[in-house]
Structure 1
Amino acid sequence: MTTGHVFIAVSLDGYIARPDGAIDWLEGWPDVGHDYGFAAFMESVDGLVMGRSTFEQALRFSDWPYTKPVIVLSRTMTDADVPSALAGRVRVSDKAPREVMNELSHDGWQRAYIDGGRVIQSFLREGLIDDLVITRLPVVIGSGLPLFGEVTGDVRLAHISTSAFASGFVQSCYRASAA
């Protein structure tokens, strides 16, 4: 089965975006040239699974940021909603998390980058996340979209490592014990 992996930034108060989905608070930090392991992480995955909101946020970037295949999970979008410039690189699925992972496994994917708050939450609830790299930025934004939402029971994580950077970023890696 394809394994799920998370690499995400959060504010000190646990938000991944402002209430309107904006991620402007991620910009303008010192040490901009440092990628905090993101390039190596991207090399380790076969593609991305993200939600519609995360996809729409990525479309706002000046250039499409991904060279790997992207699966957008949405109940309202179809492949016809994907910009023509991304045809063949982005596809839409309305399947449940486990069905998506089974399909990706059948397609030969070994590791999938799981991105977007609600998508991460749903994959975590299903026990489909193997590990998480969470980079906490030293900013309090007060409200927004949380990384973690309601769970049906405790989700225990095993701490792998934590690194602190001169920028003030603190990056922690966890293994999901249920995975």
Structure 2
Amino acid sequence: MSESQQSLRAFVFLGLSVDGRIARPDGDLEWLTSRGAAAGDAGFTPFVESIDAVVMGRRTYEAIASYDDWPYLDRPIHVISTTLAADADSRITVHRSAEAAIDALQRDGRWRVYVDGGETVRWFLAAKLIDELTLSQVPVLIGDGPSLFGSLGGDVDLEHVRTTVLDGGMVQTTYRVLDGPTPRSSQ
């Protein structure tokens, strides 16, 4: 397939609490890293090896920026932010909009993209760019914090691909996205 015939394919691989939270209100992820450790890699490394680049929002970047072990191997990292300085971190490229990030990814021939972070995932779903969601539920209720899903502008139909119970009680489910949001009929 030639470059002009390819289109961006976006994938989600996220951990979340059973109540659908992706972080504590202050951005803390200790609940995920400590409990998720029992599950080991959970397939994350093979997943990252299968993608060409990563795109995330500023809050997700700030939550992981200080990690000693950068989890994205050598993949280019694109961060969407209107406030982060362009030279904030030599490991990332900052874009002022999701559209600008997509343009850069396509221009660079990055067709398989890992989308990370709640707002970014919702934007890509609304734009009908997500192909697959792999969600790993950590056996904890944290009660408050950002949710992975909020308003999507309608229903997003999914097809179940597989569910695996990992060590530590983490349940990982993969869904194929059949289409983007379908507006609900008003009755």
Partner of 1:127: 128
* Structure 1 pair 29–77 and aligned structure 2 pair: CA distance change class (3 A): closer
Segment drifting more, 58-67 vs 70-79: 58-67
Confirm or deny: 8 A CA contact 2:38 2:167 kept in the other structure.
Answer: no
Following the alignment from structure 1 to structure 2, what is the Cα–Cα distance between the partners of residues 153 and 133? 20
Q: Do structure 1's residue 55 and structure 2's residue 55 form an aligned pair?
A: no
Q: Which moved more, 1:101-110 or 1:146-155?
A: 101-110
In structure 2, the residue matched to 1:170 is: 171
| 1:27 aligned onto 2:33 | yes
Give the drift of 1:33: 6.9
Q: Give secondary structure in 1 for the equivalent of 2:22.
A: strand
**CA distance in structure 2 between the aligned counterparts of 1:33 and 1:140, rounded to whole angstroms:** 17
Structure having the larger proportion of residues in strand: 1
- Opposite residue 82 of structure 2, the aligned amino acid is R
CA contact (8 A) 1:78 1:93 kept: no
CA contact (8 A) 2:39 2:167 kept: no
Structure 1 residues 1-179: aligned runs within 5 Å: 1-29=7-35, 32=38, 34-66=40-72, 67-82=74-89, 87=90, 89-97=91-99, 99-178=100-179
Whether the 8 Å CA contact 2:39–2:166 is kept in 1: the answer is no
| Count of aligned residue pairs for this structure pair | 173
Cα distance in 2 between the residues matched to 1:118 and 1:156 = 19
- How far does residue 34 in structure 1 lie from its aligned partner after superposition? 2.1
Q: Deviations over 1:38-72 (max 9, x none)?
A: 01100000110011011111112124333211000
- Which stretch shifts more, 17-26 or 28-37? 28-37
* Corresponding residue SS for 1:167: helix
* CA-atom RMSD in angstroms: 1.7
Preserved CA contact (<8 Å) 2:137 2:172:
yes
TM-score, structure 2 normalization: 0.86
Residues 50, 30 of structure 1: alpha-carbon distance in 2 compared, 3 angstrom cutoff: closer
One-letter code aligned to 1:157? L
TM-score (norm 1): 0.90
Unaligned runs of 5+ in 2: 1-6, 181-187
